[in-house]
Amino acid sequence: MSTRFTAQQFGLVAVVAAVFLGSLDQTVIVAALPAIVSDLQIPFDRLDQAAWIVSGYLLGYTVTLPVVGQLADVRGRALSFAGALIVFVVGSLGCALASSLGPLIAARLLQAMGGGALLPVAVAIVSDRYPPEQRALAIGVVGAVAEAGGVLGPLYGAVIIAHLAWRWIFWLNVPFAVLFLALAMRFGRLPPSYTKREQIDWPGAVLFSLALAALMAGLSREPIFIIGDDVRPTLLVLALVALVACLGWQSRARNPLLEIGLFRIAGFGAGIAGGFLLGGALIVAMVDVPLYAATILVVSPADGGLLLMRLTSFIPIGAILGGLLAQRWGLRLPTLFGFVAAGLGLLAMATWGTAPEPRRLWLSLAMAGLGFGLLIAPLATATVNAAGQGREASAAALFSVARLTGMAIGLSVLTAWGLQHFDDLAASIPLPLPVPGESAAQSAQRLATYAEAIRGVGAQVYHDIFQAAAILCFVGMVVAVFMGQKKERVKPLTRKA
């Protein structure tokens, strides 16, 4: 009995390790971009397209989540986990063999489809092992591992680049993925299926994935030109049309991809709303901390990345702590603590100004990171528990979609509003135009004064942006009121006949 338990736990470790491998590849490419641009001889006028090497992974990751969630619930964990890792391996091979930018972006999309599928399947697998009141810690561990992969990705990539060619980032995925798949299938005791009578909602999957893909692409910072026109506004319209069509189909589908009735369950709606707010607030820190370091502190990109790590390194710690607290006290308190801590951390970041004290930097970033981490386990657990047995993977996938959608919309709004806000404030500062008869020293002094004023404007913009993100977190405190407790059990919804 003890040996069997140990072997099963060993298989679960392999499942979680596969999630770590997939999450590494979300950010590992950042360190390899200069080497890729040089090796593939990407011209300067195509560097904006090279950004899709990074954002394409996020796109593929997101659009795959809903259908994989339902696939794992209907066809079983074993098939879905194996399929995800195989797709990830094929995509990794495509990246390693790519000889130009187009094939590399296509391979990254395929790789992301496999990597994105691993997280909801892993959450479903660990949820199968524990009853609703005991699964928060396990989900917190999975979330912590996924966050840790994103944190360590750039460092992992930098180590490989320092000793090997950039293609080895992808070659090394193959043996690791094969090993984790073999161990999980051999020791994990993954259930082959829940039921054989239900079918995948392919029309709903196509419509929802189309809506997500159009939304993510339409909100991207990189222009998408077709016949000389930027089609991002058109893609946003397409996203809305596809979403409306998807919801219309879901209302009459026999086995809908999105069960609208789930949103009437308080715990499910709270988990999804909390995930959206978490994503919207988190993206502010992820994007603006390095930008603040570069524009206000005037440090190197490497130092900006290290500054951000003071926040991101606390997210996995918070995820495990959130799971422990949820296991002991239920889901409401860690959700409340998480939003409060993240909000206070962001408010402290809003006070940085142009010359923040090192201790203030550390404390504010650590508090925000810990708060973001605290939210992962209770929000995801509330969503999974409320969905009921047989829908764990679908619920975990929708939670991830909500979080990523919050990040995409938050980034788009942040970029548009932040730039406009900066322009408005900078317009009130007189330009240091040449003055007849002034000396070189006087001209230099006026230029320095202008530069310092612009720097102050930048600090004000960051203050307002961090403050807006803090407000999102304080709004999220309302979510805690509707969170289920650790002993809450929700019966599965009745399928349509």
Q: By mean pLDDT, which of 12-21, 92-101, 432-441 is the weakest?
A: 432-441
Backbone φ/ψ region at 227: left (φ over 0), alpha (ψ -120 to 50), beta:
left
Strands 229-230 and 225-226, by their bridges, are: antiparallel
Q: Mean pLDDT throughout 313-326?
A: 92
Q: pLDDT grade, residue 23 (50/70/90)?
A: confident
* Separation CA 317–CA 325 (nearest Å): 12
Q: Does residue 188 contact residue 8 with C-beta atoms inside 8 Å?
A: yes
Q: Assess whether the region 1-198 and the region 261-497 belong to the same CATH fold.
A: yes
Single pTM value for the model = 0.83
For residue 73, the one-letter residue type is D
Q: For residue 249, give every residue at least 6 positions away whose Cβ sits within 8 Å of its Cβ, in sequence order, or none.
A: 203, 204, 207, 256
* Separation CA 209–CA 271 (nearest Å): 21
**DSSP bridge pairs for 225:** 230
CA 280 from centre of chain: 10
For the stretch 261-281, pLDDT in tens is 788 888 888 999 999 999 999
For the chain, the domains span 1-198, 202-252, 261-497
Residue 491, pLDDT > 50, answer no
pLDDT at position 497: 36
Q: Give the HSE-up count for residue 429: Cα atoms under 13 Å, Cβ half-sphere.
A: 19
Superfamily for domain range 261-497: MFS general substrate transporter like domains (1.20.1250.20)
Q: By mean pLDDT, which of 2-6, 57-61, 257-261 is the weakest?
A: 2-6
Phi, psi of 145 (to 5 degrees): -65, -40
For the stretch 53-91, pLDDT in tens is 777 777 777 788 888 888 888 877 888 888 899 999 999
pLDDT at position 102: 83
* CATH number, span 1-198: 1.20.1250.20
Q: Give the number of other Cβ atoms within 10 Å of residue 2's Cβ.
A: 6
**HEC per residue, 63-108:** HHHHHHHHHHHHHCHHHHHHHHHHHHHHHHHHHHHCCCHHHHHHHH
* Separation CA 293–CA 303 (nearest Å): 8
Mean pLDDT of the chain: 82
Q: pLDDT grade, residue 154 (50/70/90)?
A: confident
Q: Give the number of other Cβ atoms within 10 Å of residue 385's Cβ.
A: 30
List C-alpha distances in Å: 82 to 67, 90, 187, 318, 340.
Answer: 15, 12, 14, 30, 39
User: Tokens for 348?
Assistant: 């402290």
